[in-house]
Structure formats: structure tokens, C-alpha cells
Chains A and B, each alone.
Chain A
Amino acid sequence: MISALLYLRLTSLQNLVLSRVRRLRQPKYLVGAIVGAAYFYFIVFRRTVHVGRVAAAGAPVVALPTDLLPTLIALGAVILLVIAALSWILPDERAGLTFTEAEIAFLFPAPVRRRTLIYYKLLNSQVAILFTAGIFTLFSLRAPSLIGGNALIHVAGIWLILATLNLHFMGASFVITRLMDNGITPWRRRLIILGLIVVVAGVTLGWLWRDLRAPQAADLADFHSVAGYVNTLLANGPLPWLLLPAKLVLGPYFAQDAATFLAALGPALLVFAAHFLWVVRFEVSFEDASIAKSEKRAARVAAVREGNWRAARGAMKARPGPFRLASTGRPELAFLWKNLLSTFPIFRPRTLVIGAVLIIAGYRWVVHDPAYRHMIPIFTVFAFIVAGYVLFLGPQLARQDLRSDLANSDILKTYPLHGWQVVLGEMLTPIAILSGVLWLVLLTLLLTFHSPALTWLTPAVRFTVAAGLVPILPLVCALQLLVPNAAALLFPAWVQTVRNRSERGIEVIGQRIIFMAGQLLVVALALLPAALGAGLLVFATQWLIGPVAALALAAVAVLVILAAEVGCGLWWLGQRFEAFDLSSELRP
């Protein structure tokens, strides 16, 4: 029977690889694959090869002193122990092995033993674990000499850690299910486990209190001293015994060469085997929970494919509207109302007011206290960073527009609205969210951005620039959002793939990079006329009417140019939306 399951797994994997290779015949995937490969080469491989060459040439590279390794392993063991403890405390559901709906439909009614299903699941998880181990190793190889060893040792070591953790999670969930079957509620179990942890921690701390001293200044003098103190701490009392299994599992990863790896492998495999036996021999029913889990997973995947991230995050709750929606008025506002409901409740007009009040109150507090006044430049830098982040990445993150509603385009097109009205309505929510954040950033900069070196930056100039930017920023956001929305209508198949987080592969990474670069380029080009116009106006008129009036004039000019560009973009996208047919666009 296991051979049939093995066949299923290997054939599925083979077909997946083949379909990925075949789809490279489509230009959108081929171009994506080339860009994705280039990204990986320049960001990961080239650096890895470079580090390897440096090491091979015997050049000095940054290495972690070997005397720190025991401390590192002990700290790693503490982390593993905490993760393991959490796997006993957090779950509140019965053990459900994750099967796909097809696997449940075919395997559960089939004459397959329960243990065989577990073998199958374990086998299945190895693919993902090995992949993760490979990726992790690839990135860690950029600085190989930090912990020593080589690629093979790292892959095997990470695989062993992740596979043992996976078995531990499974075993813990089985025991939790048995406890629930015996009437022990999740909260009672948590109390028992927390009680046990408190007892163990109490005994350990008591031991440490008796035998150890508090850290002295010398213990904190440098990195080695701190590590030495921590090492002594972790080597005392019952802690070494508590950490022993986790240390054994970590051993192969931290091996410096083949000999130490082989020496560490035996004990690690013993821990792994003990976990394996625990999982396969523990008799507990997982079928009901697996079916429920698979249904939830399928619903989540369907929600993701429809672009409904809120539904994908879990059960949704009904919420009151963000504002009162009258029956009559501009229909575009109905989209703003609807799409604000689709996102986090924090994105409401009152948040903007609260944010502004907090910024002003915070600034007044800081500016009136000499002890904190030196922090003002930090707020300025932080505001610039947030502004940059929102301007560059905001349109990719705030997606409550056509990108999320593309699957509903059939219904949207039956509405008695012009195409541009639908596009504008759909874009209003991300425009509002991004503009709101940028306005708060602007307020922060208006209050905090002072520089004695910039004599021309008088309060009047600062205020004029800020006042001018208030209406300009929503237009800049609109301009940015036109690009991904245009992409959604022009290349729906491509966008469907990119927005679908269940899609993976180097080609999808490449597609995302292309989108990002394309957006930046188009927005830069679109902003160029406004920037040039504003620059020329300020240059030509400031001698006549003064810098403040010149800046105000330039702001009006920028406003007009951007409004014209956004208007043209909306009109064109509206035309495109009216002619749009998702079903034909997605034809292979």
C-alpha cells in the first residue's frame, strides 16, 4: 500500500515540475523565470560563490570563535525547548493531519491502515522540510565560516531539526487529542502544563540561586564574558538534562567537519527515532479533525484565489459600516464604503484624527522636555522612512481595489456606471488609506523638520509646502495605484498569478519583481512633468513674488498636472474595464 502512496506522491511531484516547466512556454512565465533567476543569482548565488572563493583562497573571513559554539548550541536548545513547550500549550483543536480534499476523498475510504496514512503524511512533509532546509542553507552559506561546516552538513542538520520538530508537533497533537477524548479541556490542559513548567522552572531557579552568583561587571565586559556566564548558567542544575534532547538534535548542524557530524548524527537520530515511534504507535483518531482542517484549508485557498484576504485569514465577523452610506449620492463612495469594510477596522476617519492628535501631543511633550528634545531628529528620520515605505510599497500592500474585486467583475459590469466610475470607486479605499498615512507623516515632518543649515526653510515655506502637499498626496497615490490596476485589466492572467499567494516558483518571484520595477518606472515618468513644471515655476517666479507665493503657485500647477494625468488614466482604464472580459482573458 505504501508503494501506491509513494507513487501518488512522486507522480504528483513529477507532474508539478513538468507543468512548471511547460508553462515557461508562456512569455509571462518565461520572462518571470529569467528575472527571478537573475534575482537569485545576483542576490544569493553570486554572493555565496564569492564567499566560497574568498574562503578557498584562504583569505580571512568573519568566523565565530569555536569557544562560543557550546553557548550557541545551548541557546538553540532553549529555543527548541520553548517551541516544543508551546506545541503543548497553544493548540485548542484535536489532532488533524493536513490532507488535501482529494487525498481525503481517495485515501480515507480506501483500504489503507491508519499507520500507513501517517507514514504517507510524514513522507509528504519531507519534501517541504528538505526544500526549507535547502533554502535556509543557501542563505546561511553567504557567511559559511560563521559556524563552520559545509553545505551538506547544514542541509542534513537543518533537515534533522525540522523533521524532529515536525514529529514532535504531531506527537503532541496526538496526546492533546487523547486528553480531549478523556474530557480534559484545552484550558485545563494548559493549566496543568503551565503548572509543570512553573515547577520545573522553580526547581531550576532554586538550584541556580543556590549554586550561582549574580553577574558581575566582569561577566558583562565583552561578548566572550557574557557567553561564558550564560554557558555556566545553562550547564548547572537540571538544565543540562532538560536541554539534552534538543542539544542532541542540534549537534549535527553545528558540526565543524564530517567526523564531528557523524559523531553527532547517531544521538540525534536516536531522538528522531524515539519521536517517530511515539507518533506511529500512538493510537488516536485524527480523521474527523483532518476533514475539518482540509475543508478550512480549501475555503482559505478559494478565498485567496478570489483575492479575499480577510476571508483567507480566518472566520470573518460582521462589522458596522465605516460611515453611514446614504441611498443616494455619488455611487463611487459606495465602493469606498464597501472596500473599507473588507479591510482592518483601524482604517477609519477617526483613526486619522486620533493619529493627528497623538502626533501633536507627542511633539509638544517632547519639545517641552529638554531631556527628550534631542529625539526630534529621530522622529524626522522615522517619518521619512515611513513616507518612503508607503510611497514605494504602499500600492502593493493596499490592494482593496480592482485587484481584489477582479473575480466579481461580472457583477460590477452590470452596475449602471461608467467604467471610470467603477475604477475610481474601487481605487478610493487604497487612496484613502495611503493618503491618511502620508498626511500623518506630513504632519510629523511639518512639526519636526528643522535645520539651521537650511535657512530658506522658514516656517512659512514649511507650511506652504505642507499645505500644498495635502491635496497633492492623494493624487500621487492615485497615480501609483493606476499602474497595478491597469496591470490587473491589461494582464489579468498575470496579475491573477501574482496576487495568488498559493502560486510559487522562481517565475512568480520574477513576475513580482517586474511588476514592482514597472510601477516605479511608470510613476517616475508620470511625476516628471509635474516636477519639471513646479521646478520651472518656482525658479521663474520666486524673484518676483517671493518663495512662499512661488511655492503655492507651483503646488497649484502640480495639482493641475497630476489631476489631468489621473483623470486621463481613469478615463482610459474605464474604457478598458468596459471592454474587459475576464473569461476570455484567462483562456489558455
Chain B
Amino acid sequence: MIEVSGLSKRYGNFTAVHDLSFTVGPGEVLGLVGPNGAGKTTSLRCLAGIIPATTGTCRIAGHDITTDPVAAKRALAFFPDEPRLFEYLTVRQHLAFVARIYGVEDHEALAEPLLVELEIADKADQLPGELSRGMKQKLAIACGLLHSPQVMFFDEPLTGLDPLGIRRMKDSILKRAHAGATIVLSSHLLHLLEEVCSHVLILKQGEKIADGTLADVSARFSNGEANVSLEEIFLRATGGSDT
């Protein structure tokens, strides 16, 4: 469960995110969309406790990310657009390190099926430098999933993946959502978001333009037309800005 209320982030005179409020329930997948510079990544980074919000509150699984960050972070996983890995740790050593940080008991039993699911079991003793970008991303995801987070934030999770990788990533996200995880993801690939997201939130210049279920947002911007794509909704909502 994610509850965001009046969240703003300012850098000096520049407001990156302004008065953002929304809620995402268990099993829901919220797609965060907006033109370049809309504040998607900044919002995700505030929600994940990476950067402090200037004002507003954000509760992750019932814990305030500002006042109780350790409990909130224990319940979440953040997946950046570029996999951030330690170049000197092998795949297996990454999982051992993350297990110790999160206190995941008997992590080997959890790690093995995860590596098999993500198809990197045969790379377990390799360093990130020996992995392709897609493999690195899978390793970052394995590290994030090891502690079975209730809340997940994906920043452009499909970047750099091949078609099969994109399909697997979508399946993986949906599997976690069906298992009750709360998921927020940002992406420019709107047609793919349509397949994964139950809800959508459109940002422009740091402000929320619209949010709700895909059907709600479609209804608001479809002008009575049927079968309007998310891409068309996006263009109408943002006034035709590029994605």
C-alpha cells in the first residue's frame, strides 16, 4: 500500500514535483507517465526514500518514509532505470550482500529459484562486467526481489531489454501484482504500460494532470470516442508533448 499526500520536491527555485497525492493499493499497478522532465523519476526517488521530499508525506505499507524510513524501506524495492551494481561482486555475492542488509534468513533457498526464474542461474559466479545489459538488469531485479517486498518502484524497467526480456519483465511484474504487491512504474512505452497497469497517473511539469484506473482516465480524455489508446490519452492530456 502506498499513500502519498501533498508531496512536493523543490531544488532552490525550481519545483520538480508539486503537491502530488495518490494512493495505490495491494495488487494494483500504477503507471507513472509524463513528458521528459515531468518529475517521474524525482517522484519515484522521493517515494523510495532516496531523496527527501520538501513537503508532504508518503506512507509505504503503513510506515512513513520520512519518520520511520527503516521500516518503510524494509517493505519496498526500488529498481532504477540503469542497473546499479557493484562491479567486484559476482551475481551470487550480490545476493549474499543484499540478504545480509535485509536480514533474509536462509537466502540461498530463496535465491536459487529467483535466479532460475530470471534465467541467470548459470551466471551465478560471474561479475557484472561479464554480463549483458539485460542480464545486469535481471540481477538488479533479483536483488530487489530477494526480501519479498510488498511495494515495488520500477523506473523505466523495460529500457534496454529485448522483446523476450520485455515480455518476461511484464509477466514478472504482473505475477508480483497478482501475489498482492503494490507496484509503481514509470515508462515511456505507453502501449506496454497499457498491458501491465491497472491505474495510471499523468504528470506534466511536476503536477498531476490525471490519475485513476485506465478506464477512468480514458473516459476523461476520450471525448466520447471508443477504444482510445493510452498514447492518444497521453497526448491529449499533456497537450501533445513528446514522451
Contact = CB atoms under 8 A, between A and B. Distances in A.
Interface of A: 303, 308, 310-311, 315-319, 321, 325-329, 331, 333-334, 337-338, 341-342, 407-411, 413-418, 578-579, 581, 583-584, 587
Interface in B91-117: 93, 96-97, 99-107
Contacts of A341: 88-89, 93
Chain B interface extent, by class: 35 or more
Contacts of B69: 416, 418, 578
A587 B13 CA distance: 13
Given A338-B93, A584-B51, 18 more contacts: A303-B87, A308-B88, A310-B87, A311-B87, A326-B100, A327-B96, A327-B106, A328-B100, A331-B103, A334-B100, A338-B89, A409-B50, A414-B48, A414-B78, A415-B102, A417-B70, A418-B69, A581-B50
Most B CB atoms within 10 A — which of A408, A410, A579, A587?
Answer: A410
Interface of B: 11, 45, 48-52, 69-74, 76-78, 80, 84, 86-90, 93, 96-97, 99-107, 125-127, 129
* 7 nearest CB pairs, A to B: A334-B100, A416-B74, A416-B73, A581-B51, A342-B88, A414-B78, A411-B84
A362 B141 CA distance: 52
A327 B107 contact: yes
Contact of B87 (A308, A325, A409): A308
A334 B76 CA distance: 20
Contact of A414 (B71, B73, B99, B104): B73
26 contacts: A316-B87, A316-B127, A316-B129, A318-B90, A318-B93, A318-B127, A321-B93, A325-B96, A325-B97, A329-B100, A331-B101, A333-B100, A334-B101, A338-B89, A338-B93, A338-B97, A408-B84, A410-B45, A410-B50, A414-B49, A414-B78, A417-B73, A418-B69, A418-B70, A578-B69, A587-B11
A411 B78 CA distance: 8
A584 B11 contact: yes
A418 B84 CA distance: 20
Contacts of B104: 327
Contacts of B89: 338, 341
Contacts of A579: 52
Q: Which of B72, B101, B106, B107 is packed against the most chain A CB atoms within 10 Å?
A: B101
Nearest to A328: B103
Contacts of B73: 414-417
A413 B129 CA distance: 23
B102 A416 contact: yes
Contacts of B74: 416
Contacts of B93: 318, 321, 338, 341
Contact of B70 (A333, A416, A587): A416
Given A318-B126, A333-B100, A410-B50, A416 B45 contact: no
Nearest to B140: A411
Q: Taking each of B50, B126, B129, which has the highest tally of chain A beta carbons within 10 Å of its own beta carbon? A: B50
